[in-house]
Amino acid sequence: MTELASIIAGRIGREGPIPFAEFMEMALYYPGLGYYTRPEAEIGSKGDFYTSPHLHPAFGALMGRQVRECWELMGRPAEFRVVEPGGGRGWLARDLLDHLKGSDVYDAMQYLLVELNPRMKERQAGLLEAHGGKVAWARGLGELEPSAGVILSNELIDAMPVHVVEVTEQGLREVYVAMEDGKFAEVLMEPGAPGIGRYMERYAPGLPVGYRTEVNLALGQWLGSASRALAEGYILTVDYGHPAMEYFNADRSRGTLLCYHGHRADEDFYEHVGGRDLTAHVNFSAMKDWGAELGLTALGYCRQGVYLVSMGLDEVVVAMYGETPGMGRELQKIQGLIMPGTMGDTHKVLLQHKGGNPPELKALRGFGMKNEVGKL
């Protein structure tokens, strides 16, 4: 049993079973011992999973194009803040800033990373040294005064703690984590948070007995913090997930919750606690709806591959490499960002707007080829 597992077991011993969401919160974010807060946390080929910025810097360059488009649609404000929560090693920030360096939007912008892990912050600072005057850090969105700009996240929402629920003969029940014979064990209890029942009635009514899934109430809280940090501007979210009508289909009767370790996925949630990533897919319909309640308008939604191509991937790659002999190797890496069966298929892009009249949809290049916001 890891040190963190012992701490969680001690809490259960004192307080009784805890909701899976609280177990997941501690497993991922307990100070110094959680998966994302431990000093040795690593993402990429040396870690347990990789994200789009690890595949190719063209991803960050295209995010830079989107930031510039947002800035121009806002009337090119003289002060403009880009906030990235959960920036990992800082590769997305580096590639985005490298792409925009020397431009008018670069002159206007400040790039702010929201980071809990002190060691990760040090790594980010080292990687972003060339952009020193442009980069700052905060520990949470709640620290920020409202500002014009963009809040950009890549694979952040999937790492939020989720409640796990199951439909039984007696009705909806929530998964709690207990201790049996010195090991973690699941027990089904009445849902603890009132929002769980409302969520299920709204997005997944009539599920059959035995169906298990997740409820991400933390997403609504995060959107509230993001909206308060944004005087006007955009929230750009890239993550894997689905509209509600696809999230709760028969093929996902055991939910989407997984562990990642050594680039392999499994469902051993209670093994090596603190040393394994836990993740669940995003319900983008809930993100759209909760955003609307906060004054955020969902403008565009589509698969990552379609979005990147529409955003001008070909132009970015030619600008980066021209007709060099290494172009073929680069294109092979880029395929993982756009092709069916890759992140281009599993990952989706959602753009939400706050403040004033939203721009005309034709002004949003990334959704010019296909915009499926109507599915949400």
169 lies in a domain?
Answer: no
Residue 190 lies in a domain: no
Q: What CATH number has the domain bearing residue 292?
A: 3.40.50.12710
Q: Is residue 15 part of a domain?
A: no
- The closest alpha carbon to 191, from 221, 217, 159, belongs to 217
pLDDT greater than 50 at residue 16: yes
Residues 6 or more apart from 333 whose CB is under 8 A from it? 55, 56
Q: Is residue 11 part of a domain?
A: no
What pTM was estimated for this model as a whole? 0.95
345 in Cβ contact with 226 (< 8 Å): no
Between CA 292 and CA 303, with CA 297 as vertex, the angle to 5 degrees is 110
Tens of pLDDT, residues 89-124? 999 999 999 999 999 999 999 999 999 899 999 999
Distance CA 315, CA 309 (A): 9
DSSP state of 78: S
HSE-CB for 121 with a 13 A CA cutoff: 14
pLDDT attached to residue 304: 97
Is 208 contained in some domain? no
Which candidate, 338, 310, 308, 345, places its Cα nearest to that of 60? 308
Question: Are 297 and 359 within 8 A, CB to CB?
Answer: no
Within a domain: residue 305?
A: yes
Looking at the structure of the chain, the number of domains it has is 1
Give me the pLDDT at residue 44, please: 45
Residue 349: inside a domain: yes
Domain of 368 in residue numbering reads as: 52-161+216-375
- Residue 301 covered by a domain: yes
Least confident of 24-38, 330-344, 358-372: 330-344
Q: In the beta sheet, which residues pair with residue 19?
A: 176
Q: Which residue has the tokens 């836990």?
A: 278
| Whether the predicted pLDDT of 263 surpasses 60 | no
Among 219, 211, 108, residue whose Cα is nearest residue 157: 219
Structure tokens at 251: 């093929």
DSSP 228-251: HTEEEEEEEEEEEEE-HHHHTSGG
